[in-house]
Amino acid sequence: MSAESLLGTCRLILVVFPLIPVFGVLVILAAQYGFRRDISLGALRCTIVVQTALAAAIVYCYRGDALIVPVAMWEYSIVFQWDAYRPYFMAAYITPVVFALFAARRLDGTTIRVIFLFYLAGCSGIIVTGDLFNFYVFYEVMIMAAYVLITVNRAYYAGIKYMVIGAVSSALLLAGIILLYASGAYLRFSFVDEIGAYSIDNIKFLALLFSMAFFVKGAFFPVSGWTATCHAATNSVVSGVLSSFTIFTGIFGMYYLVILPAVNAGYTPILEFIRILSVITVLVPSVFLFFEPDLKRCIAGSTVFTVGFVGILLSYQLFAPAFTYMAIHAVYKSTMFHLYDDLLVSGLVVRARRRSIAALFLTVLFTAGFFPSLVYFLKYAFLEINPYYRILVYVSMFFVFGSFFKFKYIVTERKISWSPAVLFFVMLSAYYVVFPFYRSISSTGLTIDLAILTLGIVAARPLYLRLRRFSSFDTKFVYVNLNFELFYIVVLLVVEIVLLRAYLA
Amino acid sequence: MIFAILVLAVYGLIVRDDLIQKIMCLTIIQSVVILSFLTVGYTDLGIAPILTEVDAVFVDPIPQALMLTAIVIGVCFDSIALAIIVKLYQTKGTTRISELYER
């Protein structure tokens, strides 16, 4: 194919991609009301297959610089965009969606499947959006559907909690959009090219508003308490997409609307603030995780730990490792949620088939980031910048690994309809083949890793049982109720203002 | 004036115990944001941005389009939130978060 035709294909895919789930909805509704037939399961699966094929096609066809596709020949027209980092977000989206393809039956009922398709439409739109107007609309489509999907298991409080937190972050995002527009910018992401011409006060306010919006959406500490409650409340298919992709739309926004503008405008204190907050986000939630007695909440809560590492990498402008981390995270996090349905959990005792336990062990290895997991190599990107990060990494690794090994695992043989373990191993093998960040490792590092691994396996459960009175430490003392979580947003805003004005400026 | 309303709404959002009151506070916050953006696109004596006369002065259509979208999203949000609160009340018998503690 010629370069011109490849470009034409890319343009077409960018516009069509978010419309595929909407088309699926229309087909389901037409069959439902026209022919009284329920084809929702087939339509959902077809949508996922078509989107996966289109995702592969655009990654294959894309070459070179950012591709911007306006939908009209007007300078204010909304645009779709594809650039060097979009494939990572596409991978983070497609991975849980492929898991959903095999577990689609768990989305029980036509209504839920239709809402799930709207959810996919919002997610797909965010990946290809090139301006803030689009981003806001697609984000709201995605999150509105998510609000409903969270309540499928009658977890209404989790749903309303997600709604309130989500609405606050959306209000902050909207306020940022106002300021950006009032500064004289178009709403396209390409505003960063001319941001140097804006007033520095406006740039600071923009960074403040957008960063706060995405700290909340991306679940940075201390505004991360909702993740365990909300992501664990629904079924594994939805939880997988929420934890693998939706939470990282905060990272998407952070990259395009905070970090790139800050770098272009030379406003680096915001990067330092993101780094400080990311370090805390790695450390504190991993300690909370250790005292969490519910396995599904452990799986959901461990996403915050990953967000912290991605934040550190982003703050050093190590974009490729950061987004690779996010894409790999999608594989093991989706697997964990789907594996959860494979387990019989009773208090701190987990019964499962041998294959499921093996897969779970590997996913935990990835979550904590031990050798030879792929994320282990990604951490080296910032470990070399500051050696003190090693302490952070080792301490957090122990707590995260220990949070899963405080449970007692017992092998049982029971019949299950579908196991995600095979899909996990296939995807993981593919990632190992294409992974570009391998590097030689020191024997000291490997020995310490092995020591922490052994300590986690041997000492986590006795330590947890000894400290059991601190069980659910976070919900008892830190995230006591929704009011506390909302208060932390204000606290974070004040701390960010004070730090940026007084210390980091 | 807008700032004062915003502060009150944020205060209400944080301290109020009742979920319906929280949703009301969120709606007020959203209205404040929408009003702020509409003032950005306001032009004295500007007419609606529909091309009727060549020399006419129009208000900026971008804030209006975006805020119209935000209003629609706000209505969706309110309806979904209230629907969930009704379900919550039916199952738990209260809408007060201090009585609703759910991990």
Q: How do residues A301-337 score in pLDDT, each as one tens digit?
A: 999 999 999 999 999 999 999 999 999 999 999 999 9
**CA A267, chain centre distance (Å):** 26
Counting one residue from chain A and one from chain B, the pairs whose CB atoms sit within 8 A come to 104
Report if residue A31 sits inside a domain.
no
Please report residues of A whose CB lies closer than 8 A to that of B98.
481
B46-94, pLDDT tens digit by residue? Answer: 777 777 766 777 777 888 888 899 999 999 999 999 999 999 999 989 9
Residue A68's H or E segment, with its range, is strand A67-70
- CB contact at 8 A, A108 and A36: no
pLDDT at residue A220 in the model: 94
Report if residue A243 sits inside a domain.
yes
Q: What is the DSSP letter of A8?
A: H
A254-266, pLDDT tens digit by residue? Answer: 999 999 999 988 8
pLDDT at residue B102 in the model: 56
What is the ipTM for the molecules in this complex? 0.92
| Nearest neighbour of B84 by CB, restricted to A159, A187, A475 | A159
pLDDT at residue A120 in the model: 96
The nearest alpha carbon in chain B to A297 belongs to B103
Q: Do B13 and A168 touch (CB under 8 A)?
A: yes
Count of structural domains, chain A: 1
Q: What are the structural domain ranges in chain B? A: 2-43+57-97
B103 has pLDDT over 60: no
Long-range contacts of residues A109-114, Cβ cutoff 8 Å, at least 24 apart: A110/A28, A110/A32, A110/A38, A110/A40, A112/A149, A112/A152, A113/A28, A113/A40, A113/A41, A113/A43, A113/A44, A114/A25, A114/A28, A114/A29, A114/A40
Please report residues of A whose CB lies closer than 8 A to that of B101.
481
Please report residues of B whose CB lies closer than 8 A to that of A182.
40
Q: Do A160 and B101 touch (CB under 8 A)?
A: no
pLDDT at residue A418 in the model: 64
Q: Do B33 and A174 touch (CB under 8 A)?
A: yes
**Which DSSP string corresponds to A128-144?**
HB-BHHHHHHHHHHHHH
Report if residue A344 sits inside a domain.
yes
| Token reading at A500 | 């940026």
Residue with tokens 């990632």: A431
Report if residue A54 sits inside a domain.
no
Report if residue A188 sits inside a domain.
yes
- Spans of chain A below 50 pLDDT: none
pLDDT at residue B60 in the model: 79
The structure's pTM equals: 0.94
CB-based contacts of A302: which residues, under 8 Å, 6+ apart?
A286, A289, A333, A367, A400, A403
Q: Do A297 and B103 touch (CB under 8 A)?
A: yes
Q: Is A346 helix (H, G, I), strand (E, B) or coil?
A: strand
Report if residue A69 sits inside a domain.
no
Assigned CATH for B2-43+57-97: 1.10.287.3510
Other beta carbons within 10 Å of B57: 10
Euclidean distance between CA atoms A48 and A117, whole angstroms? 9
Report if residue A316 sits inside a domain.
yes
pLDDT at residue A415 in the model: 63
Report if residue A63 sits inside a domain.
no
pLDDT at residue A504 in the model: 63
Chain A: closest CA distance from residue B6 (Å)? 11
pLDDT at residue A1 in the model: 66
Please report residues of B whose CB lies closer than 8 A to that of A157.
88, 92, 100, 102
- Find the DSSP H helices in A255-387: 260-265, 269-290, 295-315, 319-340, 354-368, 374-383
